[in-house]
Structure 1
Amino acid sequence: MFCRILLLLSALAFTANGAELIFDFTGTPADKLPGGFRSLLAGRGKPGEWKVIHDELPSELAPLSDKASTTTRRAVIAQTGFDTTDERFPILLYDKETFGDFTLTTRFKLVDGVMEQMAGIAFHVRDADNFYVIRASGMGNNVRFYKVVAGQRSAPIGPDLPVAKGQWHELKIQCEGNKIRCWFNGKQPFPELQDNSFASGKIGFWTKSDSISYFAATRISYTPRESFAEVLVRDVLKENPRLLGLRIYLPGDDGAPAVVASNDAKEIGMAGGDSERAVLANGDAFYGKDKGSVSIVLPLRNRNGDPMAAVRFKLKSFPGEIQQATLTRVQPILKDMQAKAQTLDELK
């Protein structure tokens, strides 16, 4: 999958600055699952069969002449698995971002289904048992919102209205704080909702039972989420202005450490070195001197006492400073950091 993430220079609908994520599946081979997504099943039955196919979509540009085509053939994502289990809810989750405030627009088409013909968006997804969803039904001819908490579905909210099979429809969802708004084909099917169950989570394409549904032209404008590691670095620097630098390293999927939070935002994503690897592997401490400064790398331990992150402190040195003196200076700071973050998940 080829995804573009753009910084928006103009104001978003719900925040002054943000980012935009556009799902473009043209780089994914047909019949394959795009990268960055994973299949999730809520309820019972077989997992969804998600893959990229090609279909005709209404052109987003006005035709140049009466003879010009009003459709374009584009790569779309499709759920093609046929399973008539009633409480089967296949979800294709975008796994690379967690969303709080956002505005999403997508097109969908109900293609087939004997038991159901549904398509929708699951959002603020925590797991298969906890999420919001807004979906449209071609058989029921309605648009509904509901939430799933601990696997239990709430009473649906939304009106009856025509949802034609075999046609592309537009769905827009906006979340701001605890406020949820929805538009179906440009009109709001129900008033603004307010709910405090889930403040953030993943976003995914949703279907039900044997619904064969296509999705395309999806874009998400959102406020980038700040990890707790970044919050921690900012707060520590504010409370300890004499620190010259502070970085937190976490292990990646391959185990290699990388910067996830720093006083210099340009360093985020930078690979760690041998000292950070050793700190994460063995809980060792590393000390070094530079002109006018000293650095020390220490483990940030979880509640079980195991290293979960490597923290590099940089301080102004004083004449004759030795490692133990530097350690004494940073230990209270490290202790306070460990009290605020006791698991790896809390840092992410």
Structure 2
Amino acid sequence: MIRLALAFLITAAWPLGPAAEELKFDFSQTKVGKRPDKFSATFLGKDDLSSPAKWQVTETRTPSSLAKENSGNNNLANSQALSQSSSSSFRKGAAICLYEGEEYGDFTFSTRLRIDSGAFKQMAGIVFRAKDAKNFFALTIDTIDNKLTLTKVVDEKQTSSWNTIGDLTIPKNEWHTLRVVCKADRFECYHNGIPINTFSDRGRQAGKVGFITFLDTTASFAHPKVIHKRKIILAQQLIESIKTQWERIEDVQIFARANPDAPLKVVGSMDSAKLGQTASKVTEGVLETTQFGYAKEKKTVTVTAPVRDRNGEPVAAVKVKMRRFRGQTQKASIARTMPVVKHIESRMRDAKDLFN
């Protein structure tokens, strides 16, 4: 089990702006010798099947999570880290460990990193903007060649690479800090708190984060964290605007499919506990038949209406619960719902927009 510590940062010290969330990966909650929950292990290339790469939590001495990024091996204490602990000279490629819990758009990802061994290669680092283990960016340190490298991999192939040139000393068996700050199509890379370079790439602008080691390298990673602004999709943005524009509305839910084969689910709601819930048969029927659903209670009415895309096709549904007037008819209730429907339709071209 891995514990994810979540905090809200109200400071502008990080370039992501106010109210960013900090996600810390606490490996002390995972049993030594096990891989943490929500982390996958993959090999890009050809692993040594007799001695495959092994990602596991280990006991070691690490810097404090509060230590400066350039603290190195000063003031170490017993702790737990995530390590790729298997070394093989017959291995060709890279061992990758990805956090599968979430994808990030604008974010800062940092970790402490120590190269532990490697007869032929001593190279490891962080992975970011990863679609999977075949498509990603990697920022790495090399303690043999004393350089930092940024690599882009697309469909298992390295498409671009940049590395430092000059007199750098990057010792093995010493803790380093790697940090990448991604915002839209730009990202800044840091080593031990020192900016290395700023890059731009208009490709994939969201993805997973993780760790990587090359060939026979073994390495350890401690105190990784992600600071990010949680993305608010259009469906939820629409909910917020509906709340402010229509005071007599008590509840609104927007339903849509992530893809044509996916179930119809709540993608926007005034009640966050309902997000992700599967639609009822009544709501499914509204979308299939384009007929309105209607339910009357003592003080409220609920209308479920189809939502159409720019081509006039029903692609989503909205359920609106509102306080009713004395003598309000079903026809009048539907008429009161239509401005909400039109408001949603005016902001979307198709159902996919609701998820962006």
- Aligned partner of 1:213 in structure 2 is 219
Any conservation in 2 of the 1:258–1:270 contact (CA below 8 Å)?
A: no
> Which of 26, 36, 39 is residue 37 of structure 1 equivalent to?
39
Aligned-partner SS, 1:336: helix
Deviations 1:143-177 (A, max 9, x none): 01122234443032323522222121111222233
- Return the letter of the residue paired with 2:38: G
Aligned-partner SS, 1:192: strand
> Aligned-residue CA RMSD in angstroms?
4.1
- Aligned partner of 1:167 in structure 2 is 174
Any conservation in 2 of the 1:280–1:309 contact (CA below 8 Å)?
A: no
Any conservation in 1 of the 2:58–2:81 contact (CA below 8 Å)?
A: yes
Structure 2 unpaired stretches of 5+: 68-73
- Return the letter of the residue paired with 2:142: S
- Aligned partner of 1:113 in structure 2 is 118
Q: How many residues align?
A: 333
How far 1:280 sits from its partner (Å)? 7.3
- Aligned partner of 2:190 in structure 1 is 183
Any conservation in 2 of the 1:287–1:296 contact (CA below 8 Å)?
A: yes
> Which of 278, 281, 293 is residue 281 of structure 2 equivalent to?
278
- Aligned partner of 1:23 in structure 2 is 25
Any conservation in 2 of the 1:136–1:163 contact (CA below 8 Å)?
A: yes
Rate the CA distance shift 1:335–1:217 in 2: closer, same or farther, 3 A.
Answer: closer
- Aligned partner of 1:66 in structure 2 is none
- Aligned partner of 1:144 in structure 2 is 149
Could you tell me the percent identity over the aligned residues?
26
**How do 1:31-180 and structure 2 match up within 5 A?**
31-45=33-47, 48-59=53-64, 70-84=75-89, 88-150=93-155, 151-159=157-165, 161-180=168-187
- Aligned partner of 1:336 in structure 2 is 345
Rate the CA distance shift 1:327–1:156 in 2: closer, same or farther, 3 A.
Answer: same
- Aligned partner of 1:269 in structure 2 is 273
How far 1:34 sits from its partner (Å)? 1.2
Give the TM-score normalised by the residue count of structure 2. 0.76
> Which of 302, 305, 313 is residue 295 of structure 1 equivalent to?
302
CA distance in 2, matches of 1:200, 1:271: 22
How far 1:271 sits from its partner (Å)? 6.9
Rate the CA distance shift 1:183–1:249 in 2: closer, same or farther, 3 A.
Answer: same
CA distance in 1, matches of 2:10, 2:89: 46
- Return the letter of the residue paired with 1:208: F
Any conservation in 2 of the 1:249–1:272 contact (CA below 8 Å)?
A: no
Rate the CA distance shift 1:242–1:109 in 2: closer, same or farther, 3 A.
Answer: same
Aligned-partner SS, 1:218: strand
Give the TM-score normalised by the residue count of structure 1. 0.77
How far 1:334 sits from its partner (Å)? 9.4
Deviations 1:290-323 (A, max 9, x none): 3443223467799xxxx99764222454534227
- Aligned partner of 2:210 in structure 1 is 204
CA distance in 1, matches of 2:130, 2:216: 22
Deviations 1:40-76 (A, max 9, x none): 44444477422111111134679xxxxxx93211111
Any conservation in 1 of the 2:151–2:158 contact (CA below 8 Å)?
A: no
Deviations 1:57-106 (A, max 9, x none): 134679xxxxxx93211111111244556652222222222222222221
- Return the letter of the residue paired with 2:272: I
The range that moved more, 234-243 or 138-147, is 234-243
CA distance in 2, matches of 1:100, 1:57: 29
CA distance in 2, matches of 1:12, 1:299: 45
Rate the CA distance shift 1:288–1:123 in 2: closer, same or farther, 3 A.
Answer: same
How far 1:232 sits from its partner (Å)? 4.5
Any conservation in 1 of the 2:47–2:53 contact (CA below 8 Å)?
A: no
- Return the letter of the residue paired with 1:268: S
Structure 1 unpaired stretches of 5+: 63-68
